[in-house]
Amino acid sequence: MFEKYIKGKNGAVIGSQRPWAEVFALKAGAASVLTIEYQELEIETKQPMKWIHPVKLAKEWTSYEETFDFMISFSSLEHSGLGRYGDPLDPWGDVREMAKVLCLLKNRGLMIVGFPVGSDAVIWNAHRIYGAIRLPWMIQDLKKKPGPITVLLFSNDLSWMRETYSEIYRNKNDNESFVQVGNVLYILVDNLSAFNTLIVAKDYCDNFLITAAASTYAYMMSFLAKNGRAKVFYAELNSDAKTSRRLVVVRSK
């Protein structure tokens, strides 16, 4: 299930007395695996696997910031801050550790995590159980990891669009309507009816940039974008309606 996110990638396992997660990652084709564990491990294998103590990792964290393509943690984070393994008492220890872990993960990296889920509870001093109260705190920073940006290109003048975005069109396969450039996915909307473009704007456009400042249709699309909640950018025009004077940003509601 996860092989495509692990094969040829560099990852880490957090908390590991038995290296089953490391074996899983290496069998899936991981390029390397770093185990983060308080107990010193003797690694007797030729596989690309290493061990580091959490304290050393904390001291050298800048060397590992956004280093890993994937991270795995089972039965580890829920113990943080309870003192069971000699760690300092901290009521927010688990939340802090999750935030630290995500600092080590690359943008769009994979996080595989397992901990007890049910009614919120602390089983002193063994572990926590995560429910409606505590679980959102644990995953809140996952939402802050920036994902890919999707840009929809609309125009009723297809020749102008192909000329303006010629570099993108050169990289486009004949049978596809999208082009990936770095972290940006460009979708060329050149085969939809006027009505359908309004629907796309309404349902999918969080931000809207109007390049044709005299187009009433463009303003109609921007008004509907994300049900009227989109941030809209447009060029304010001079009185002759031909040259723009400045960029204006509008956000309704």
All structural domains of the chain: 3-144 (3.40.50.150), 149-251 (no CATH)
The mean per-residue pLDDT over the stretch 84-91 comes to 86
**How much is the pTM?**
0.56
Q: Which residues pair with 235 in a beta bridge?
A: 247
Q: How far is CA 27 from the centre of its chain?
A: 25
CA distance readout (Å), 223 to 120, 157, 235: 43, 21, 15
The count of other CB atoms within 10 Å of the CB of residue 106 is 16
> Residue 214: is its pLDDT beyond 50?
yes
Return the pLDDT at 136.
79
Return the pLDDT at 62.
87
The mean per-residue pLDDT over the stretch 88-114 comes to 87
For 218, the enclosing helix (H) or strand (E) is helix 216-224
> Residue 243: is its pLDDT beyond 60?
no
Q: Are 71 and 104 in contact (CB under 8 A)?
A: yes
Return the pLDDT at 164.
66
- Which region among 50-59, 118-127, 199-208 has the lowest average model confidence (pLDDT)? 199-208
The mean per-residue pLDDT over the stretch 68-89 comes to 89
| Maximum average pLDDT range among 37-41, 63-67, 144-148 | 63-67
> Residue 249: is its pLDDT beyond 60?
no
Look at the alpha carbons of 48, 54, 60, 64 in this order and tell me if their dihedral is positive or negative. positive
Return the pLDDT at 238.
53
CA dist 51 and 63 (Å) reads: 15
The residue whose two tokens read 């004949």 is 174
- Selected residue with higher pLDDT from 33 and 17: 33
Q: How far is CA 246 from the centre of its chain?
A: 33
> Residue 252: is its pLDDT beyond 50?
no
The mean per-residue pLDDT over the stretch 29-47 comes to 86
- Which region among 18-22, 103-107, 207-211 has the lowest average model confidence (pLDDT)? 207-211
> Residue 26: is its pLDDT beyond 60?
yes
**With bands split at pLDDT 50, 70 and 90, how would you rate the model's confidence at 174?**
low
- Selected residue with higher pLDDT from 100 and 171: 100
- Selected residue with higher pLDDT from 246 and 213: 213
CA dist 117 and 100 (Å) reads: 21
CA dist 72 and 95 (Å) reads: 16
> Mean pLDDT in the chain?
79
The token pair at 252 is 């309704």
First-residue to last-residue Cα distance in the chain = 41
